[in-house]
């Protein structure tokens, strides 16, 4: 495997798409057995990569999806459980890191990410507005971060955008990402566009989805957002009508947890 992060992104994307479609009442596979085997394969692939951050991001998006489908009392319960889990995690952070840390990896520097972030931040100050240009991160500009190794990207979507496109490009990228989430949630069209965009945001904290070279996830999420925008345009302002349809769909597909 060339890079476990890529497999984790693709597997995570498949799991989230499956969950979003199922929770919206869509039939994903022709037979339940085939669907079960497909999901089992995706989960196994994700766990096999041992990418801790991406696995947490997948679970987070799934939790958000379920949270959006349940009744108010269940939401309050889930929020309470989530808050308790965060408090426990914060108080036992060192022990958790020692358990989930991979052998030979430097957890203290997030496997070298903090060094990349510090070096990138220093270079950004020299070209703050327009950056150094698309695809410029993987070059001699950043060869001083490590010995005999050039990082392919900044391992953070916004730092990478600042480096390559400056403040101007970073603002435009942020507007696109936030706009994709907002339009997707409000319209109710394409039930899996906004969860995928949230997944891209989370993965962008320790990796990169938008930026540098075009990736599969980059293209898929962009197509989803464009589809949502196009369907909204075709239906006029259409947002209220689509939202009503979405609310009706939720009533039929709501989880029996409340």
pLDDT tens for each residue of 179-215: 878 877 776 555 778 888 899 899 888 888 777 677 7
- pLDDT interval class at 257 (50, 70, 90): very low
Burial label for 144, CB within 10 Å (0-12, 13-18, 19+), is: exposed
93-111 average pLDDT score: 60
Query: Rounded CA gap, 151 and 144, in Å?
Result: 10
Q: What is the token pair recorded at 202?
A: 């989370």
35-53 average pLDDT score: 88
Q: What is the token pair recorded at 159?
A: 């730092």
Cβ 151 vs Cβ 138: under 8 Å: yes
Can you point out the beta strands (E) in 1-101?
none
Q: Give the per-residue pLDDT at 100.
A: 55
Q: Give the per-residue pLDDT at 217.
A: 75
Q: What is the token pair recorded at 234?
A: 């075709």
Cβ 70 vs Cβ 258: under 8 Å: yes
Query: Rounded CA gap, 246 and 191, in Å?
Result: 9
* Higher pLDDT pick, 45 / 2: 45
Cβ 212 vs Cβ 138: under 8 Å: yes
Q: Give the per-residue pLDDT at 125.
A: 93
Burial label for 161, CB within 10 Å (0-12, 13-18, 19+), is: buried
Please determine, for residue 247, whether its predicted confidence score (pLDDT) is greater than 60: no
Cβ 166 vs Cβ 128: under 8 Å: yes
Query: Rounded CA gap, 62 and 57, in Å?
Result: 9
pLDDT tens digits, residue range 106-165?
565 677 788 899 999 999 999 999 999 988 888 888 888 887 888 888 889 999 999 999
- pLDDT interval class at 99 (50, 70, 90): low
Q: Is 147 helix (H, G, I), strand (E, B) or coil?
A: coil
Share in percent of the chain as helix, strand, coil (round to 5):
70, 0, 30
Please determine, for residue 81, whether its predicted confidence score (pLDDT) is greater than 80: yes
Q: Give the per-residue pLDDT at 159.
A: 93
Please determine, for residue 22, whether its predicted confidence score (pLDDT) is greater than 70: yes
Residue (of 113, 117, 139) closest to 213 by Cα position? 139
Residue (of 70, 77, 60) closest to 23 by Cα position? 70
Q: Give the per-residue pLDDT at 28.
A: 66
47-69 average pLDDT score: 88
Q: Give the per-residue pLDDT at 77.
A: 87
- Per-residue burial over 186-220, b if 16 or more Cβ lie within 10 Å, else e, is bbbbbbbbbbbbbbbbbbbebbbbbbbeebebbeb
Q: Give the per-residue pLDDT at 248.
A: 52
Cα atoms in the Cβ-side hemisphere of radius 13 Å centred on 111: 15
pLDDT tens digits, residue range 216-227?
777 888 888 788
Element (H, E) at 60: helix 52-67
**In the predicted model, what is the mean pLDDT of the chain?**
80
16-33 average pLDDT score: 78
33-41 average pLDDT score: 86
């Amino acid at each position: 495997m060339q890079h476990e992060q890529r497999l984790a992104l693709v597997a995570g994307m498949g799991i989230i798409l499956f969950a979003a479609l199922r929770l919206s009442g869509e039939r994903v596979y022709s037979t339940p057995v085939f669907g079960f085997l497909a999901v089992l394969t995706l989960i196994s692939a994700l766990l096999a990569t041992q990418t801790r951050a991406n696995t947490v991001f997948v679970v987070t998006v799934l939790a958000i999806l379920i949270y959006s489908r349940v009744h108010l009392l269940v939401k309050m319960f889930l929020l309470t459980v989530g808050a308790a889990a965060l408090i426990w995690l914060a108080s036992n952070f060192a022990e958790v890191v020692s358990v989930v840390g991979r052998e030979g990896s430097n957890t203290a520097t997030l496997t070298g990410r903090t060094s990349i972030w510090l070096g990138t931040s220093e270079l950004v100050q020299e070209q703050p507005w327009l950056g150094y240009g698309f695809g410029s991160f993987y070059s001699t500009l950043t060869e001083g971060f490590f010995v005999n190794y050039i990082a392919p990207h900044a391992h953070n979507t916004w730092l990478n955008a600042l480096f390559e496109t400056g403040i101007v490009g970073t603002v435009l990228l942020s507007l696109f990402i936030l706009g994709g989430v907002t339009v997707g949630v409000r319209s109710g069209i394409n039930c899996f566009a906004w969860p995928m965009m949230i997944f891209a945001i989370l993965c962008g904290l320790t990796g990169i989805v938008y930026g540098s070279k075009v990736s599969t996830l980059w293209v898929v999420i962009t197509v989803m957002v464009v589809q949502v925008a196009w369907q909204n345009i075709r239906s006029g302002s259409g947002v209220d009508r689509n939202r009503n349809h979405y609310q009706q769909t939720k009533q039929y597909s709501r989880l029996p947890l409340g």
